[in-house]
């Protein structure tokens, strides 16, 4: 459940228009419509067609209608940050972010649902910026629909890749296209002029023995963007079995190192970082 208050600065013929002026999404408006006790003005319940005048405050309550159908577990979580809107954890490698047929009861979602049971309220598992199974690092879970739909965030990644670089900083700006077979999206993506725009900033932090530690920030968030861009410049990630070359790494060496998160109705960023995992530091010795 999430409570929110909006004060009208002008007269509105309908509450709906106040919500739209405050960038409340249609999905959230639909949620309010389905709950006749979700909106109040001066202690009285109202609906979308009610008038609201300058200086009046609209009180909103977003209640989950049903919880996620995900089995809970008591798997421990490495919690980096928590408030009423977000649970941010340090996800280990080899664990999926969401359930799947192969990993229905062995994933981060199970652990988060188990953890959230202590609040004794319906909880819907919503991840902002899902990480692949092999990828470690900062994972954002939104605790309510407002946080899920009205937040923005920026991520930076650390990666170990093959080869050494001549430049310490540069951009890879190449469009990425999803390969389709009979109209069905495949796992693999390719650099293609007919693809969607994608830009990755690369900063080389350390390199030795033909392995480089790089920091990556994305101007776009295409699926597999980092892996495709590093592969296309002949510096694929260690352990990348789809876009890389054969090596002895047990996983794709990608780590979400830091997130800067802007909560709803706030200009203040929340900065959260995850420490470098041991399998990264071991390769850099």
User: pLDDT tens across 168-184, in order?
Assistant: 999 999 999 988 665 55
pLDDT in tens, 103-157: 667 899 999 999 999 999 999 999 999 999 999 999 999 999 999 999 999 999 9
pLDDT at res. 106 = 84
Residue 74 domain flag: no
pLDDT in tens, 5-48: 999 999 999 999 999 999 999 999 999 999 999 999 999 999 99
DSSP at 13 = S
In 3D, which of 88, 67, 86 has the Cα closest to residue 77? Answer: 88
Question: How high does pLDDT run on average in the chain?
Answer: 94
Name the CA dihedral angle for 100, 245, 168, 224, rounded to a multiple of 10 degrees: -30
pLDDT at res. 277 = 96
> Are residues 51 and 14 both part of a single domain?
yes
> Are residues 280 and 212 both part of a single domain?
yes
Task: Point out which residues pair with 31 in neighbouring strands.
Answer: none
- Domain CATH for 269: 3.30.2350.10
> Are residues 137 and 186 both part of a single domain?
no
Distance CA 40, CA 56 (A): 10
pLDDT at res. 29 = 98
Task: Tally the domains of the chain.
Answer: 3
The model carries a pTM of: 0.91
Residue 259 domain flag: yes
Are the beta carbons of 112 and 95 closer than 8 angstroms?
no
Residue 72 domain flag: no
Range of the domain at 53: 2-62
pLDDT at res. 183 = 58
Enumerate the H helices of 150-247 as residue ranges: 225-232
Residue 90 domain flag: yes
pLDDT at res. 104 = 60
Residue 246 domain flag: yes
Residue 36 domain flag: yes
> Are residues 188 and 268 both part of a single domain?
yes
How confident is residue 267, by pLDDT bands cut at 50, 70 and 90? Answer: confident
Residue 73 domain flag: no
pLDDT at res. 184 = 55
Active site residues: 132
Helix (H) / strand (E) element for 113: namely: helix 108-116
Q: Which of 130, 148, 166 is the last residue of a domain?
A: 148
Distance (Å) of CA 163 to CA 114, 136, 191, 204, 280? 42, 22, 20, 11, 16
């Amino acid at each position: 459940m999430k409570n929110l208050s909006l004060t009208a600065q002008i007269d509105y013929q309908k509450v709906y228009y106040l919500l739209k002026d405050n960038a409340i999404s249609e999905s959230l408006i639909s949620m309010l419509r389905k709950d006749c006790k979700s909106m109040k003005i001066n202690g009285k319940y109202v609906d979308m067609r009610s008038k609201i005048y300058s200086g009046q405050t609209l009180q909103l309550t977003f209640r989950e209608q049903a919880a996620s159908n995900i089995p809970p577990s008591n798997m421990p979580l490495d919690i980096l940050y928590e408030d009423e809107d977000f649970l941010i954890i340090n996800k280990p490698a080899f664990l999926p972010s969401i359930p799947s047929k192969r990993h229905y009861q062995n994933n981060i979602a199970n652990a988060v649902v188990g953890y959230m049971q202590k609040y004794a309220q319906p909880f819907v598992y919503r991840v902002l910026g899902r990480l692949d199974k092999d990828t470690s690092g900062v994972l954002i879970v939104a605790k309510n629909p407002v946080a899920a739909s009205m937040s923005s965030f920026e991520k930076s990644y650390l990666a170990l890749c093959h080869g050494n670089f001549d430049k310490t900083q540069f951009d890879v700006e190449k469009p990425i296209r999803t390969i389709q077979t009979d109209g069905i999206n495949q796992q693999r993506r390719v650099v293609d002029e007919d693809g969607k725009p994608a830009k990755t900033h690369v900063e080389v932090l350390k390199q030795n023995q033909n392995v480089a530690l790089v920091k990556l920030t994305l101007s776009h968030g295409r699926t597999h963007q980092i892996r495709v861009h590093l592969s296309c410049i002949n510096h694929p990630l260690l352990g990348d079995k789809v876009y890389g070359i054969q090596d002895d790494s047990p996983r794709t060496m990608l780590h979400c190192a830091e997130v800067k998160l802007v909560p709803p109705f706030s200009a203040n960023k929340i900065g959260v970082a995850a420490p470098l995992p041991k399998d990264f530091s071991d390769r850099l010795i």
